[in-house]
Structure 1
Amino acid sequence: MAALCAATAIIAVVVPFAAGLSVLGTVPMGLLAYRHRFRVLVAATVAGGIIAFLIAGFGGLMTVVNCAYIGGLVGIVKRRGHGTPTVTVASLIAGGLFGVAGVGFLLVFYRIRELVFASITANMNGIAAVLERISGLEMAAQRLRDDFATVLTYWPLLIIGSSIFSIGSVTLIGWWALSRVLVRLSGVPDVHKLDFVDSAEPVGPVPARFRDVRFRYDGAGKDALGPVSLSIEQGEHVAVTGPNGSGKTTMMLVLAGRPPTAGAVDRPGAVGLGKVGGTAVVMQHPESQVLGTRVADDVVFGLPPGATTDVDRLLAEVGLDGLAERDTGGLSGGELQRLAVAAALAREPSMLIADEVTSMVDQQGREALISVLSGLTKRHRMSLVHITHYNDEAASADRIIDLTGDGGSGDNVEMVSTAPAPAPTSAQTRRGGSPLLELKGIGHEYGQRTPWASVALRDIDLVVNEGDGVLIHGLNGSGKSTLAWIMAGLLTPSAGTCLLDGKPVSEQVGAVAISFQAARLQLMRGRVDMEIASAAGLDYFDHSQIVAALAMVGLDPAIGLRRIDQLSGGQMRRVVLAGLLARKPRVLILDEPLAGLDAASQRGLLGLLTALRRDTGLTVIVISHDFSGLEELCPRTLRLRDGAVMSAPTTAGGVA
């Protein structure tokens, strides 16, 4: 949020005639003040101010400070339930304080005062000179000179009065506009946020015993979890499984400290989220919890002062031996996840919760992560709760808890299977269908002509035929997602051309539909039915079309009335696909479409896509680490390694 405010401040200062954009910087600051403690606003102001000062100078710094003042005042007043009278009084006080500070500054630095007054006097004399040239305004010009000289003798009152007027008017305008924004943002619940409770009770998260626990999100029509009765014992490795929407992530939130809406959770002490000896959580997307710029810095980030940590030992334990000085921005997805595990272990937790940590990692990284996780309870005095869809991952646990909606536990026989990576197909594997998407000599380099330049793709030649099914796979960092963005026209390659029907695809954005790897970032509306209508261009009031779109991806029509943030990760992914498929695209690119989906959802989605490709001629390009069941949907296979094709892809004419 601080960087967002700093960016708007820099644009407002550097770009000509863009000063009005600075008002946008009040939104992130207002949101921070509205949702968090005052110290968060101060930290954001310092961070954003430093960034803006280094790039745009003193003007950028003051713009961030002004945004923090207006946004902070509005957010705090709104959070405490006050209104316009409070803002008015606060703005008058602030204006008076700023005015007094300005007077004190000019009293001390009298040479600056003389320079400022001389500049203002010159401007007034210039205006008077212009008025004198206009017939009939000679007296007005002289009056302007005389009155300004009189006012200038009372300059302290002038500065204080102008400060109160300017700051008061700007604050009231900001209140009028920003308070309405915050009201709308307040309707977007952060339902999956981890709840930190600073308790004076001694830390003791395990053993944890659930007694008829239920949880229902605000505004939801039914429970997201429960009733559940179970126990997590000290030193136990437990795998939690279940279909999408069964409450796995909700159970993680309750284990991490969120109070249930019914039932009780018995623990010997406090949850201690993030504290030494307490509860640590490793999430699905490591980018959201890796904060240090160096690997070693991230391991100890947030530890209490004076804490001693053997960073090298922890890194060696998770398979990152010798990477302590590496930049975290250069790590692969699997390496980032292992770093997140090391940072969690640095807190010596009594309970570690791993929530779908392998869903975005390639098969090699997945195996490395599982080998790390499966041995943690033997090397540390801790309990491990691993939430997963994969049967081989669950098999390494001491016990499996299957959330099937009735709170029962037992072996989950309906789980996702893994399969070995398929070999690249030969040129003769598939024929037929006219060429639709053509890539010729595609190469891409991030940060061109900078010290941070990085080659993502090199010399990619590919022809995708109409009605074709192509699987693109490779290790993390091999360039798969970059290639997907180029084929969708969202990224212009550094070299080569990407053509759709003979024309550059970058000039036809939207013609190729793409489902991003992080489904939540693609959902722009607050509710499911509104999202599908917006994404597909449907009439929102024609509910039959929305119901049909939901049915295509196996979602119940009732889910259309749910808020996006109340969905599980797998449900979000299917909502994205419902909106894209309802647009009836000619080419559909799916970046990790199976991540976060249970076995039944995977089978249903693959069956749907296979039928669409077979019956309607839909061209499907899949980027995936999961290969099980993809043989029929994607008869062609392209393998990338270090940005290059490992084996020549097939074309309609049998020529690579």
Structure 2
Amino acid sequence: MTSAGPESAPRRTGPLQPVELAQAAVMAALCAAIAIIAVVVPFAGSLSLLGTVPMGLLAYRYRLRVLLAATVAGGLVAFLIAGMGGFMTVVNCAYIGGLTGIVKRRGRGTPTVVACALVAGALFGVAVVAALALLSRLRHLIFDSMTANITGLAAILERVPGLEPVAGRLTRDFATALHYWPYLFFAVGVLSITFVSLVGWWALSRVLGRLLGVPDVHKLEASNDVGSIAPVPLQLRDVRFRYPNAGQDALGPVSLAVQPGEHLAVTGANGSGKTTLMLVLSGREATAGTVERPGAVGLGKIGGTAVVMQHPESQVLGTRVADDVVWGLPPGASIDVDRLLAEVGLDGLAERDTGGLSGGELQRLAVAAALAREPSLLIADEVTSMVDQDGREALMSVLAGLTTRHRTALVHITHYNDEAEAADRTVTLVGNDAASDNSPMVETAEVPSGTPSETPRGAPVLELRGVGHEYGSGTPWAKRALSGVDFTVHEGDGVLIHGLNGSGKSTLAWIMAGLTVPTVGACLLDGAPVSEQVGAVAISFQAARLQLMRSHVAHEIASAAGFSVRDRDRVAAALASVGLDSGLATRRIDQLSGGQMRRVVLAGLLARSPRVLILDEPLAGLDAASQRGLVYLLEDLRRRTRLTVVVISHDFGGLEQLCPRTLHLENGVLATAPTATGGRS
């Protein structure tokens, strides 16, 4: 969630909170990795400046204690791997990043940086002088080394005609300065720290300005609870919510109630305010209206409110399954981890590495971690949209019986009709209202049979010949992802590739796009290796937001397509090709809905006139209307322009005309028959 600024929220006191520990750990690891590379890799010292960015973000968004924790953790890791050089690099990054972040957070400028730098430089100079006064042998060693360098430089100058007096003056002046070495080293300390601080402020403040200009409107923040924790029964009366600097409300007016032990489904089109409602339910203060609870929200606390989000990777923190279940719980909390894992279908996986879990398993682990807090209110935000059919069914079997097995109210945000039918009651958000509604929902669909409804007539474009791929090949951690994949994609062809999580679909997509070279076999585009023609095959990733790198729509399209952003006609034509109005060109990326983001990605890719377009889960997270609109757009492009399309999806409904051919992946091998009997679209 985004507030008006870091100063608008009260600063925390006391021990580090779980969210602060998590942020400190992630940023410390990033800074340590950069420091190690800067020290170990030859001529990579300048990369150490990148380490100031994570430390600066910590200092800007969190209290000083979080920055100190990250500095200690990152410094120890860097010292163990890269020695004192790595440790000092982390400390330098923490100083520059911390100074810049704190000064920006407090709304100050360059004069404050200069004042702080002079104080820090004076302290540093005093420390250096004191150390050299005590360590006489080290002092003499440094003096001898410096004298040898100056003598060598003077000898070089003496060989240059006309510079003999300069050489003699250099030797005498250095000897004089060395006689007053305490003042020399103190001055050098002050000047060096001030110079480094000003350079760091000049560079990092601009980087932070760009990063902080990207609104993180959907971020969850720990609540400052006062009194006993009791989030339900919950009553919303004419609630409205508007994000900072937005021109209209994102939600409302909404009036609804959530009772203890109730299973409530929340549905609605993209942009209707479902995720915003989740933020209000989890403690974000509404812009208008009233939210009545008997006690505090208790987000993430025992007996309070728990949230399971769409992307489980963003909330799984432990490296071991059992560790993740208890992450952030207060010391001494008694949790039956094995029972919780068995309840969510992860029985026997307590010792497994979380990095080896499938998408569905990660999502069920997130549910187990939420249940470990014995929540009175559990919010599940489209938790099934990114997992395969088996994962969806397993998740729904867990969610459907939660309110009978636990003393919790469940609010399930979903696009799927059968998931909403499992609830006690359904509320549909319609624009800026909440009411019962007959708007269409995403229906279930059969897995395509794999029999093509039309024979490819175009010339072969993309050919895969015996493609196999192994990650970590030649190491003890080698893992096979694909084996013996053979097929051909023709010009104007439409191919659907489906399979369960972990079947190798994404690896296959990266190979077809030329971003990964197969371990075995060949992937050819027009007869030549596609890895030598990167960009000729365009790929749209599963998470559209992560593929949008620029701040505004016009800049994003122009950057992706390779033309000037001042060429407004080409920007407008690219937007029109995906059914978007040219007026959208001036909009910020973060002001777009999920469906609009996917279309902007497509606009940039199509403007490059790719030979093949690969779409990885293009329907995930879209409502029924957005799905139909996107599929119709792609069908029209394929029909009119002979665009070659490859779709990788768990969702099947409505794709028959776009993708008359279906390929099934099972454990990295092409299967001749469907591997599942049903799915959702």
Pairing partner for 1:565 from 585, 590, 600: 590
Shift of 1:110: 3.2
Shift of 1:138: 4.7
- 1:519 and 2:554 correspond: no
Pairing partner for 2:397 from 354, 357, 371: 371
- 1:32 and 2:26 correspond: no
* Counterpart position of 1:419: 445
Pairing partner for 2:326 from 268, 293, 300: 300
- In 2, the alpha carbon distance for the partners of 1:39 and 1:519 equals 35
- Sort the Cα spacing of 1:126 and 1:529 in 2 relative to 1 into closer, same or farther, 3 A: closer
- 1:277 and 2:285 correspond: no
Q: What amino acid is aligned across from residue 416 of structure 1 in structure 2?
A: V
* Counterpart position of 2:410: 384
Shift of 1:157: 2.3
* Counterpart position of 1:482: 507
Shift of 1:142: 4.3
- Sort the Cα spacing of 1:574 and 1:134 in 2 relative to 1 into closer, same or farther, 3 A: closer
- 1:119 and 2:145 correspond: yes
Shift of 1:72: 1.0
Pairing partner for 1:616 from 638, 641, 644: 641
Pairing partner for 1:263 from 270, 277, 289: 289
Offset from partner CA, 1:396-426 (integer Å, 9 cap, x none): 1111110012423225551001223223337
Offset from partner CA, 1:567-617 (integer Å, 9 cap, x none): 343432233223323444331100000001111111121122122222321
- In 2, the alpha carbon distance for the partners of 1:432 and 1:232 equals 56
Pairing partner for 2:178 from 152, 162, 167: 152
Specify the SS of the correspondent of 2:481.
strand
- In 2, the alpha carbon distance for the partners of 1:237 and 1:556 equals 40
- 1:452 and 2:452 correspond: no
- Sort the Cα spacing of 1:614 and 1:446 in 2 relative to 1 into closer, same or farther, 3 A: same
- Sort the Cα spacing of 1:228 and 1:550 in 2 relative to 1 into closer, same or farther, 3 A: farther
- 1:600 and 2:635 correspond: no
Root-mean-square deviation (CA), in Å?
2.2
Specify the SS of the correspondent of 2:468.
strand
- In 1, the alpha carbon distance for the partners of 2:554 and 2:168 equals 68
* Counterpart position of 2:227: 201
Specify the SS of the correspondent of 1:408.
strand
Offset from partner CA, 1:141-162 (integer Å, 9 cap, x none): 4444444333333322222211
Shift of 1:57: 2.6
- 1:44 and 2:74 correspond: no
Shift of 1:170: 1.1
Shift of 1:445: 1.4
- Sort the Cα spacing of 1:129 and 1:531 in 2 relative to 1 into closer, same or farther, 3 A: closer
Pairing partner for 1:336 from 342, 356, 362: 362
- In 2, the alpha carbon distance for the partners of 1:413 and 1:140 equals 87
Offset from partner CA, 1:263-307 (integer Å, 9 cap, x none): 121111221111111111111111111111100111111111221
Specify the SS of the correspondent of 2:444.
coil
* Counterpart position of 1:652: none
Specify the SS of the correspondent of 1:284.
coil
Q: What amino acid is aligned across from residue 131 of structure 2 in structure 1?
A: F
Is contact 1:244-1:571 (8 Å) kept? no
- In 2, the alpha carbon distance for the partners of 1:452 and 1:57 equals 28
Shift of 1:387: 0.8
Match runs of 1:126-205 below 5 Å? 126-135=152-161, 137-205=163-231
Larger deviation: 271-280 or 315-324? 271-280
Unmatched 5+ stretches in structure 1? 650-656
Shift of 1:560: 4.3
Match runs of 1:92-107 below 5 Å? 92-107=118-133
Q: What amino acid is aligned across from residue 613 of structure 2 in structure 1?
A: L
Q: Please give the TM-score of this superposition, normalised by the length of structure 2.
A: 0.90
- In 2, the alpha carbon distance for the partners of 1:189 and 1:223 equals 16
Larger deviation: 488-497 or 389-398? 488-497
Is contact 2:664-2:673 (8 Å) kept? no
- 1:67 and 2:93 correspond: yes
- In 1, the alpha carbon distance for the partners of 2:357 and 2:293 equals 37
* Counterpart position of 1:634: 659
- In 2, the alpha carbon distance for the partners of 1:189 and 1:114 equals 55
Pairing partner for 1:399 from 411, 425, 437: 425
- In 1, the alpha carbon distance for the partners of 2:375 and 2:614 equals 41
- 1:577 and 2:602 correspond: yes
Specify the SS of the correspondent of 2:433.
coil
- Sort the Cα spacing of 1:151 and 1:529 in 2 relative to 1 into closer, same or farther, 3 A: closer
Pairing partner for 2:380 from 337, 340, 354: 354
Larger deviation: 604-613 or 292-301? 604-613
Shift of 1:98: 1.6
Larger deviation: 583-592 or 351-360? 583-592
Q: What amino acid is aligned across from residue 639 of structure 2 in structure 1?
A: R
Is contact 1:238-1:398 (8 Å) kept? yes
Specify the SS of the correspondent of 2:445.
coil
Match runs of 1:197-236 below 5 Å? 197-236=223-262
- 1:508 and 2:536 correspond: no
* Counterpart position of 2:32: 6
- In 2, the alpha carbon distance for the partners of 1:101 and 1:290 equals 43
Larger deviation: 299-308 or 181-190? 181-190
Offset from partner CA, 1:446-492 (integer Å, 9 cap, x none): 12222322111111111101111111111101110010011111111
- Sort the Cα spacing of 1:469 and 1:285 in 2 relative to 1 into closer, same or farther, 3 A: same
- In 2, the alpha carbon distance for the partners of 1:18 and 1:244 equals 46
Is contact 1:550-1:578 (8 Å) kept? yes
Shift of 1:140: 4.4
Is contact 2:449-2:673 (8 Å) kept? no
Specify the SS of the correspondent of 1:304.
coil
Q: What amino acid is aligned across from residue 512 of structure 1 in structure 2?
A: V
- Sort the Cα spacing of 1:358 and 1:28 in 2 relative to 1 into closer, same or farther, 3 A: same
- In 1, the alpha carbon distance for the partners of 2:513 and 2:80 equals 36
Larger deviation: 76-85 or 319-328? 76-85
Moved over 6 A (4+): none
Q: What amino acid is aligned across from residue 466 of structure 1 in structure 2?
A: E
Is contact 2:579-2:633 (8 Å) kept? no
- In 1, the alpha carbon distance for the partners of 2:165 and 2:535 equals 65
Unmatched 5+ stretches in structure 2? 1-26, 675-681
Pairing partner for 1:433 from 458, 463, 487: 458
Shift of 1:514: 0.8
Shift of 1:215: 1.4
Is contact 1:10-1:52 (8 Å) kept? yes
% identical aligned pairs: 73
- In 1, the alpha carbon distance for the partners of 2:103 and 2:591 equals 28
- In 2, the alpha carbon distance for the partners of 1:124 and 1:316 equals 72
Larger deviation: 61-70 or 192-201? 192-201
Larger deviation: 228-237 or 175-184? 175-184
Shift of 1:214: 1.2
Specify the SS of the correspondent of 1:403.
strand
Is contact 1:283-1:356 (8 Å) kept? yes
Q: What amino acid is aligned across from residue 253 of structure 1 in structure 2?
A: L
Q: What amino acid is aligned across from residue 462 of structure 1 in structure 2?
A: F
